[in-house]
Chains A and B, each alone.
Chain A
């Protein structure tokens, strides 16, 4: 090729730069500080009249942290599989960070075990495991007739044993795919370029089925872990909402990590503005898809206006919750949408990083709006208590620990996949290909 002489060459050392260790120690520090704050807040909340919900709020916020880090970990695995099937040069920038995200699954499993141990504090169905339980609950005024009916009707699915089995099965499936894709990727890099066509097909075949299975497992996990906090409500799009949210938050984090890594070799060499722009466009697509599904769910339930569906929204609109959902709409759609429309912002590292950080903040706001109104003290009644502050302290601590773990995973292998036909293309000057 005539312009081959102008292409760059990879540096000898493809490992993660030294400053990743700095990220890790900073994350650990933040995690420790916020964990201490969270425990203090729990005691403050426990002593606060009339609710005494300090530790309850701690656990609810723990679920938020679980969903956030679970999104990064399993969402990273999902985007990795999608990327193997779709191809595209941007993937070369993201694959190693995504692999590192998928290998944080043990930590997420540990986070989940905590919610499983304390499930009675979080899920009504864990407290009322038989018809006689619900009858007694109605008589004692602990649950309503409707809740009792739903708990009895949904018991084949919503009971502790099924919950544990389904969750563990989901983790086993994600773990299997994370292990498979990660080991195959190293094997692929160890072999020569003549094997590339074989590996491309191989990864497509593993990932293609994996994406389908992921769609089922994410539906199951989101229903069990979050939706079932309110046993009366159901929505068939619920799993997809989390699926899209995974794309949203993983792309945001992936862009942040890639741009931060590009301050040093080897990512500095492979990051071109074209691919950065592509990543911004892809994030924009997920911003649109997210509002599309969320608004679609709302529009259908609003149109139907049926008592067994609409109350879920009324719990989350009335009693000042309307403020939160309005802010959620602004943070989750309006701001990223208007920002990512701009070509200049997508091509500017600093600004794109800023937008992506804001997107992750929006995911947190959205999860707060989804989780807290499930509980009778908060439904249709947004009010301040020490416990509410747990929603800041606990997820920040959990995410910080997750980031520290992610950094150690990132350090374990080279940041560039070398047995890939896109590598030669990404090293060429930008104007070589449209």
Chain B
């Protein structure tokens, strides 16, 4: 694949999450769809403002958890009943109360791992390169105290001059053009 060139998008910088959310909400309302918010910590309202939709992570987590539970419970049952049936104080070999704790722990473990890996698989991380890191203010601020809204060039509404004017109407700290 040849390297992509040209403009990735326009990046507006805000000082507060409130300003970002208001700008993002307006942009989404005005028909922008190829846009994204970048914040140093999770701002749920920002995700909702740009049309956050449901994803498959909860389903993955549920299936992973149930698989973990079934796997450990079956393993314990197989060991105690079929592979190494031992007499513990005259209890039946299938003594389910003793199986509950490991089965539960595996439910949690598998659910957690499924959630983490499913999240990575669905959101495309880890990414080795992202054009936004070309913007110095993004590099310095996105993980500390700045809030960013990026209108991407892939959006059909995108026009370098008009979109810059549009973003500036939200009174951001700055608007910079980001190259691929």
List the interface of chain A (C-beta within 8 A of B): 1-3, 6, 295, 298-299, 302-303, 305, 429-432, 434
Q: How far is the CB of B58 from chain A (nearest CB, A)?
A: 8
> Would you give 7 A-B contacts (Cβ < 8 Å), ordered by A?
A2-B19, A6-B18, A298-B97, A305-B89, A431-B17, A431-B21, A432-B17
Partner-binding segment picked from B4-12, B37-45, B69-77: B37-45
Is B100 a contact of A295 with CB atoms below 8 Å? yes
Can you name the residue of chain B whose Cβ is closest to the Cβ of A305? B89
In the bound complex, do residue A302 and residue B97 qualify as a contact, i.e. CB atoms below 8 Å apart? yes
Q: Does B161 contact A (CB under 8 A)?
A: no
Q: Are B46 and A431 in contact (CB under 8 A)?
A: yes
Is B59 an interface residue, CB under 8 A from the partner?
no
Beyond A431-B46, A434-B43, whether A303 also contacts B17 by CB under 8 A is no
> Contact: A2 with B100, CB < 8 Å?
no
Pair A303/B98 contact, Cβ less than 8 Å: yes
- Per-residue CB contact flags for chain B residues 103-147 toward chain A (1 = under 8 Å, else 0) read 000000000000000000000000000000000000000000000
Distance, CA A354 to CA B18, complexed state (A) = 33
Docked CA distance A298–B96 (Å): 12
User: What 8 A-B pairs have minimum CB-CB distances, sorted nearest first?
Assistant: A431-B45, A3-B18, A434-B41, A431-B21, A431-B17, A2-B16, A302-B97, A3-B16
Complex contact B18–A432 (CB within 8 A)? yes
How far apart sit A295 and B105, CA to CA, in the bound complex (Å)?
14
- CB of B168 within 8 Å of the partner chain: no
**Looking at B18, B44, B97, which has the most chain A CB atoms within 10 Å of its CB?**
B18
The answer for the CA separation of A47 and B33 in the assembled complex, in Å, is 75
| Docked pose: A298 CA to B95 CA in angstroms | 13
The residue in chain B whose Cβ has the minimal distance to the Cβ of A295 is B100
A residues near B43, Cβ cutoff 8 Å? 431, 434
Determine the residue in chain A with the shortest Cβ distance to B40.
A434
- B131 CB to nearest chain A CB (Å): 26
Chain A neighbourhood of B42, CB < 8 A: 434
**Chain A binding surface, main DSSP class:** helix
CA–CA, A429 to B101, complex, Å?
A: 42
Return chain A residues, CB-CB under 8 Å to B97.
Answer: 298-299, 302
Kindly state the separation between the CA atoms of A431 and B98 in the bound complex, as whole angstroms. Answer: 46
Known: A3-B18, A430-B45. 10 other contacts (CB 8 A): A2-B16, A3-B19, A299-B98, A303-B98, A305-B91, A429-B18, A431-B45, A432-B16, A432-B17, A432-B18
Chain A nearest CB, measured from B147 CB (Å): 10
- Residues from chain B with a CB closer than 8 A to the CB of A431 are 17-18, 21, 43-46
Interface residues of B in 9-32 (CB under 8 A from A): 15-19, 21
* Shortest Cβ distance from A7 into B: residue: B18
In angstroms, Cα B144 to Cα A134, docked, is 74
Q: Which chain A positions have C-beta within 8 A of B17?
A: 3, 431-432
Complexed CA–CA distance, A431 and B17 (Å): 6
Question: Which residue of chain A has its CB nearest to the CB of B15?
Answer: A2
- For A429, what are the chain B residues with a Cβ–Cβ distance below 8 Å? 18, 45
Chain B, Cβ-Cβ closest to A299? B97
CA distance A429 to B22 in the complex (A): 11
| Complexed CA–CA distance, A431 and B45 (Å) | 6
Cα A431 to Cα B15 with chains together (Å) = 13
A3 to B43, CA, bound (A): 15
A430 and B46 alpha carbons, distance in the complex (Å) = 11
Q: For the complex, give the distance between the alpha carbons of A162 and B17 in Å.
A: 61
A85 to B98, alpha carbons, bound, how many Å?
A: 37
In the bound complex, how far is the Cα of B52 from the Cα of A272, in angstroms? 20
Give the Cβ gap from B102 to chain A, nearest Cβ, in Å. 12
The interface residues of chain B lying within 8 Å CB-to-CB of A432 are: 16-18
Interchain nearest-CB distance for B146 vs A (Å)? 13
Known: A305-B89, A431-B43, A434-B43. A299 touches B101 (CB 8 A): yes
- Bound form: Cα–Cα A434–B44 in Å: 8
Distance to closest chain B CB from A89 (angstroms): 16
Distance (whole angstroms) from the CB of A24 to the closest CB of chain B: 38
| A416 CB, min distance to chain B CBs, angstroms | 23
Q: Bound complex: CA of A431 vs CA of B42, how far in Å?
A: 10
Residues of B within 8 A of A302 (CB): 97
Instruction: Output the nearest chain B residue to A274 by Cβ-Cβ distance.
Output: B44
CB contacts (< 8 Å) of B21 on chain A: these are 431
Q: How far is the CA of A6 from the CA of B100 in the complex (A)?
A: 51
A158 to chain B, nearest CB (A): 30
Give the docked Cα–Cα distance between A2 and B20 (Å).
Answer: 12
The listed residue with most B CB atoms (<10 A of its CB), out of A3, A295, A305, A431, is A431
Kindly state the separation between the CA atoms of A429 and B43 in the bound complex, as whole angstroms: 12
A-chain residues with CB within 8 Å of residue B98 when the two chains form the complex: 299, 303
**What is the distance, in angstroms, from A284's C-beta to the closest C-beta of chain B?**
14
- Expressed in whole angstroms, the Cα–Cα distance for A3 and B89 within the complex equals 68
Chain B residue numbers with a CB within 8 Å of A298 are 97
B92 CB, nearest partner CB in chain A, Å: 12
